[in-house]
């Protein structure tokens, strides 16, 4: 805990001492953020201009922007980017389709409310790697419970090879990520719902609105800021997704379609020890995240967060 | 399914709809975890049946013993606990003063600072992977606890600060003003008035940091590769053989690794939901 070094004189010279105090209080946080996040980020920019591959140590040196050129010609980068965007669109929309009804259900007064809250928090708090492992097991081709339920329900005749069929493996991963992230959307929307005074919907119903009407005309517009915040956070985490695709790829022969930008960066840097090219890829991912962040910052500044 | 209805005015149809909605939420949230518990109690032979046998014929706890004998899982657990607790402590120690300054003091360019913090909260971890790896290698920190503690504290710091700013801002300024008129200093006002009142906020922020640190995988996988320095999130992936996935064993490891989180959630769920929804969350 930071302590001001000298007892501050009350009233006398309030402004300068307040500035100094603010500086002191901000110092530890600033040191951590600058030293552990900003400094490495800046070195990434520098690294991206240098060839630095541990497996070919004789190839070293400044190469300017050529690794960015390599990236644009790299089919695997193109595929990873496309996969990331496809997963992004599918999982973000999926998490809203599931998360908003979840929030409404959790918001209802009921005796099972505590249990519902735990059910809501569990997917959110579960480590993503473990989520990946669990769902890989649920989708197991031979003994998976998903296949079993589908066969029992008569939806399919034969068990499906979820993880080794390209299209199905994508679907399985989307379902996994949607399960994991819907509760995040639900939590934000729940926060929004709790901020809406009950009188408003009651007034609407007194005025003769049906429940559906009052939901769409009163509640949904008031939820717009929460939905927007959830949307932006979800988009950013979707762009950066790593853990779940990484776990799935360990068990899925159909890898190509599952490799996201995050996984490609990991493999380039840590598995193939190509630090230079990994840095260039990292800058691309950083730029993508920053673009979404910029939208968020503008949204907050324009007062969208009512 | 509508949100805000007083309970006494429900028709039977609505009651059924509400029951179905809550049921779906509860089953959907719990099922994967419950399925892992069931799987962990089955023997390998019992598992290889299709149609699937839902309940184990007899409870077989041997998988749990194997979790600890086939890998140093107790060590993984201890590592995770150490790393998560220390990064939480470090993060909160830095976040509380910073959030207080941002919420209460006259800071020029406060808006710019807040925007910067938001931007930090959105940095992709994987973009930091290689430079952080080299930084840690340079500082000789690979395969030590600080190699994870420092980045975990830093990565969770923005969201901890934002959560705490929201909580501090909600405390009436008059309370501090009164304390300061009574002769305490700014710092005294922080430690004696604001902090005790914002315990729920600090607890929420601390739980957020703890959960983030406990769950982190990428940095733990890359920085601490020595078996004795592995954390739980990486440890659970170590049971798979080259060709085989011993699912009952993996399931048991998953259950053990998730227990602390389930306990935390069960104990703090009310405060957690209130705190997260009040402070703004990040997945």
Report pLDDT for B3. 45
Taking alpha carbons only, the member of A75, A136, A85 closest to residue A285 is A85
Asked if the Cβ–Cβ distance from A25 to B101 is below 8 Å, we say yes
Lowest mean pLDDT among A163-167, A253-257, B20-24: A253-257
Task: Give, for all 283 residues of chain B, the pLDDT tens digit.
Answer: 444 444 456 788 878 888 888 999 999 999 999 999 999 998 878 887 777 888 888 888 899 999 999 999 999 999 999 999 999 999 999 999 999 999 988 888 888 999 899 889 888 999 899 899 989 999 999 999 999 999 999 999 999 999 899 888 888 888 888 888 888 887 888 888 888 888 888 998 999 999 999 999 999 999 999 999 999 999 999 998 777 788 999 999 999 999 989 999 989 888 888 777 765 544 3
Give the separation between CA B233 and CA A127, rounded to whole angstroms: 7
In B, residues 168-187, which contact A (CB 8 Å cutoff)?
A: 180, 183, 185-187
The answer, yes or no, to whether residue A27 has pLDDT greater than 60, is: yes
Give the separation between CA A112 and CA B238, rounded to whole angstroms: 37
Q: For the residues A285-293, what does the mean pLDDT come to?
A: 90
Residue to mutate among A12, A29, A50, A201, with most B CBs inside 10 A, is A29
| Angle between the N-to-C axes of helices B247-279 and B146-169, in degrees from 0 to 180, rounded to the nearest 10 | 30
A62, β-bridge pairs: A50
Q: Which two tokens stand for residue B156?
A: 């969770």
pTM of the model as a whole: 0.89
Give the separation between CA B222 and CA B200, rounded to whole angstroms: 34
Q: Give the pLDDT confidence of A138-157 residue by residue, as tens digits.
A: 999 888 999 999 999 999 99
Q: Give the pLDDT confidence of B142-153 residue by residue, as tens digits.
A: 999 999 999 999
The answer, yes or no, to whether residue A205 has pLDDT greater than 70, is: yes
Is B136 in CB contact (< 8 Å) with chain A?
no
CA distance A44 to chain B (A): 6
A61, β-bridge pairs: A51
The answer, yes or no, to whether residue A305 has pLDDT greater than 80, is: no
Report pLDDT for A273. 92
The answer, yes or no, to whether residue A259 has pLDDT greater than 90, is: yes
Concatenating the DSSP letter of every residue in A98-164 gives HHHHHHHHHHS--TTHHHHHHHHHHHHHS-HHHHHHHHHHHT-TTT-HHHHHHHHTTS-SS---TTT
> Which DSSP state fits B239?
G
Concatenating the DSSP letter of every residue in B174-199 gives HHHHHHHHTT--HHHHIIIIIHHHTH
Report pLDDT for A122. 93
> Which DSSP state fits B227?
G
Interacting residues of A162 by C-beta distance below 8 A, sequence separation 6+: A139, A140, A141, A144, A146, A147, A168, A169, A171, A172
Give how far Cα B268 sits from Cα of A11, A95, A110, A301, B272, Å. Answer: 42, 24, 19, 33, 6
* Other CB atoms within 10 Å distance of the CB of residue B21: 19
Asked if the Cβ–Cβ distance from A126 to B123 is below 8 Å, we say no
Asked if the Cβ–Cβ distance from B106 to A15 is below 8 Å, we say yes
Give how far Cα A201 sits from Cα of A173, A216, B20, B32, Å. Answer: 38, 11, 23, 36
Report pLDDT for B75. 96
Provide the 3-class DSSP secondary structure of residue B92.
Answer: helix
Give the separation between CA B100 and CA A3, rounded to whole angstroms: 13
Is B77 in CB contact (< 8 Å) with chain A?
no
Report pLDDT for A9. 47
Report pLDDT for B280. 53
Give the separation between CA A110 and CA A123, rounded to whole angstroms: 21
């Amino acid at each position: 805990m930071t302590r001001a070094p000298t007892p501050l004189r009350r009233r006398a010279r309030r402004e300068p001492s307040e500035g100094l105090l603010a500086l002191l209080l901000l110092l530890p946080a600033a040191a951590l953020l600058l030293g552990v996040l900003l400094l490495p980020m800046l070195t990434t920019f520098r690294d991206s201009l240098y060839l630095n591959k541990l497996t070919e140590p004789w190839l070293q040196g400044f190469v300017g922007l050529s690794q960015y050129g390599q990236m644009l010609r790299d089919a695997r980068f193109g595929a990873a980017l496309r996969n990331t965007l496809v997963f992004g669109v599918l999982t973000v929309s999926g998490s809203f389709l599931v998360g908003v009804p979840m929030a409404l259900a959790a918001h209802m007064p009921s005796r099972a409310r505590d249990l519902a809250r735990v059910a809501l928090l569990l997917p959110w708090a579960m480590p993503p790697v473990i989520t990946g492992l669990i769902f890989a097991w649920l989708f197991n081709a031979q003994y998976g419970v998903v296949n079993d339920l589908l066969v029992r329900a008569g939806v399919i005749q034969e068990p499906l090879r979820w993880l080794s069929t390209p299209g199905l493996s994508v679907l399985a991963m989307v379902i996994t990520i949607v399960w994991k992230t819907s509760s995040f959307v639900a939590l934000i929307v729940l926060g929004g719902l709790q901020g809406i005074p009950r009188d408003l919907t009651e007034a609407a119903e007194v005025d003769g609105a049906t429940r559906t009407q009052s939901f769409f005309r009163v509640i949904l517009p008031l939820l717009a800021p929460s939905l927007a915040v959830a949307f932006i956070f979800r988009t950013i985490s979707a762009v950066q997704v790593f853990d779940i695709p990484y776990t799935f790829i360990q068990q899925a022969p159909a890898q190509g379609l599952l490799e996201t930008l995050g996984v490609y960066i990991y493999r380039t840097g840590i598995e193939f020890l190509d630090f230079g090219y990994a840095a260039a890829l990292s800058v691309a991912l950083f730029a993508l995240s920053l673009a979404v962040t910029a939208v968020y910052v503008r949204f907050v500044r324009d007062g969208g967060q009512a | 399914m509508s949100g805000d209805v007083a309970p006494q005015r429900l028709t039977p149809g609505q009651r059924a709809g509400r029951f179905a909605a809550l049921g779906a939420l509860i089953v959907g949230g719990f099922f994967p975890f419950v399925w892992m518990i069931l799987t962990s109690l089955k023997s390998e032979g019992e598992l290889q049946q299709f149609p699937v046998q839902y309940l184990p014929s007899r409870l077989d706890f041997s998988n749990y013993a194997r979790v600890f004998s086939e890998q140093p899982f107790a060590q993984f657990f201890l590592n995770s606990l150490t790393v998560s607790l220390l990064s939480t402590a470090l993060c909160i120690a830095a976040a509380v003063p910073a959030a207080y300054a941002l919420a209460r003091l006259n800071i020029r360019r406060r808006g710019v600072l807040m925007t910067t913090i938001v931007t930090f909260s959105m940095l992709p971890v994987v973009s930091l992977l290689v430079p952080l790896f080299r930084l840690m290698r340079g500082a000789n920190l690979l395969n030590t606890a600080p190699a994870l503690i420092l980045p975990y504290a830093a990565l969770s710091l923005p969201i901890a600060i934002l959560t705490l700013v929201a909580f501090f801002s909600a405390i009436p300024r008059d309370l501090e003003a009164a304390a300061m008129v009574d002769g305490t200093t700014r710092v005294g006002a922080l430690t004696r008035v604001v902090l005790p009142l914002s315990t729920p906020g600090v607890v929420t922020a601390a739980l957020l940091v703890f959960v983030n640190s406990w769950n982190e995988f990428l940095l733990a996988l890359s920085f601490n590769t020595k078996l004795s320095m592995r954390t739980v999130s990486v440890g659970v992936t170590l049971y798979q053989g080259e060709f085989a996935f011993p699912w009952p064993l993996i399931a048991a490891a998953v259950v053990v690794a998730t227990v602390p989180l389930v306990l935390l959630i069960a104990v703090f769920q009310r405060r957690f939901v209130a705190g997260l929804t009040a402070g703004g969350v990040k997945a």
